[in-house]
Amino acid sequence: MQLCLRPTPLKPGDRLWVTMPSGPLRDPDPFHKGIEMWRDRGYQIDLSPSYKQQWAYLAGTDPKRRASLEQGLRDQRYRAILCGRGGYGGARLLETWKWPAVPEKWLIGFSDITSLLWSLAQTGISGVHGPVLTTLAQEPDWSVQRLFDWVEGRAIAPLKGAGWGGGRTTGKLLPANLTVATHLLGTAVQPDLSGVILAFEDVGEAPYRIDRMLTQWRMTGALQSIRGIALGRFSDCENPGEETVTETLRDRIGDLGIPIVADLPFGHQGANAALPVGVMAHLDGNQGSLEIDST
């Protein structure tokens, strides 16, 4: 099991690049509030000239969004890539593209950014599954501090949730939006899942659709070699008269015989605790905790 390299810690004064690899900017206010939070921390922020573009349900055409991402990666002035929002479209950038051979940089985002984070992890570089610019200002203080602590080189506290049993395990952490990760199965972007701890969240998916996705994970054999599952928030996923999300999750993964922790504070529409990608983590299904190895 090969862990990902944590990029050199950021420090105030560093220059960061803002890009929109997925959906278009809908409400500029939270976006600019997120930018100001990074600036207030002492960082220099440059926005991609194309950040306001829209093409159908995307923030510009694939070539333009890909070029913006690559510009931030290749320009040696930038130490990190901040994603403006999620939405849809990240995986489209990866069809005919490879990460340029440049010094490691931070990539920060979640939801649709899962595809980019998992693809970057295959190059051996750890990104951060954490708030995008349009959600950062909505985070509680502890979550904002957690994000800055991790990218600035400090340890972060364990997360507490509801343990479903299964004991304790250690593995490579792969956080993801469940829907996006499901659509990466069987593609070149799917990472080696042997020995990993999966961390899933989602939004707006009815229980039967969550069932369908997890059934696909089971039928592909993708869950056979994992060591544990951490579950975050599944927002707006309840349908009256159907099984609850918790019942669906227990039905589809509760028999795997591995540690599972639910109700962890990450995902949409609430505190979205930063989770590094591809680093060692410890999951305790009895105590209900997820701990990140900071070494």
Band (29; pLDDT cuts 50, 70, 90): very high
Nearest to 231 by CA among 293, 156, 157, 181: 181
The β-bridge partners of 78 are 15
Residue 247 known to be catalytic? no
Rg (CA), the chain: 18
Please determine, for residue 295, whether its predicted confidence score (pLDDT) is greater than 80. no
Q: Does residue 48 carry a catalytic annotation?
A: no
Closest among 79, 73, 81 to 15, alpha carbons compared: 79
Does an H or E element contain 199, and which? strand 196-203
DSSP, residue by residue, 21-67 = -SSPP--HHHHHHHHHHHHHTT-EEEE-TTTT--BTTBSS-HHHHHH
- What's the rounded Cα separation, in Å, for the pair 175 and 171? 12
C-alpha pair distances (Å), 167 with each of 139, 228, 251, 259, 281:
31, 10, 19, 5, 14
d(C-alpha 209, C-alpha 247), whole Å = 13
pLDDT recorded at residue 259: 98
Strand, helix or coil for residue 279: coil
**Which is more confidently placed, 241 or 41?**
41
Q: Look up residue 146 and give its amino acid.
A: R
Tell me the per-residue pLDDT of 187-206, one tens digit each, with 9 for 90 and over. 999 999 999 999 999 999 99
Q: Using one digit for the tens of pLDDT, what is the confidence trace for 14-24?
A: 999 999 999 99
Phi, psi of 46 (to 5 degrees): -115, 130
Band of the pLDDT at 242, cuts 50, 70, 90? confident
Selection from 111, 164, 119, 138 nearest residue 275 by Cα: 111
Residue 199 contacts residue 173 (beta carbons within 8 Å): yes
Instruction: Assess contact for 261 and 164: CB atoms under 8 A.
Output: yes
139 is catalytic: no
| Dihedral angle sign, alpha carbons of residues 109, 112, 117, 123 | negative
- pLDDT of res. 1: 74
Kindly name the residue from 22, 48, 68, 111 that is annotated as catalytic. Answer: 111
**DSSP-assigned letters across all residues of 86-99:** -SS-TGGGGTT---
Query: Of how many residues is the chain composed?
Result: 295
The answer on pLDDT for 96 being more than 90 is no
Annotated catalytic residue within 139, 201, 205, 291 = 201
CA distance 177 to 278: 15
Identified catalytic residue from 115, 119, 143, 268: 268
Averaged pLDDT, 1-13: 95
The model's pLDDT over 121-149, given as tens digits with 9 standing for 90+, comes to 999 999 999 999 999 999 999 999 999 99
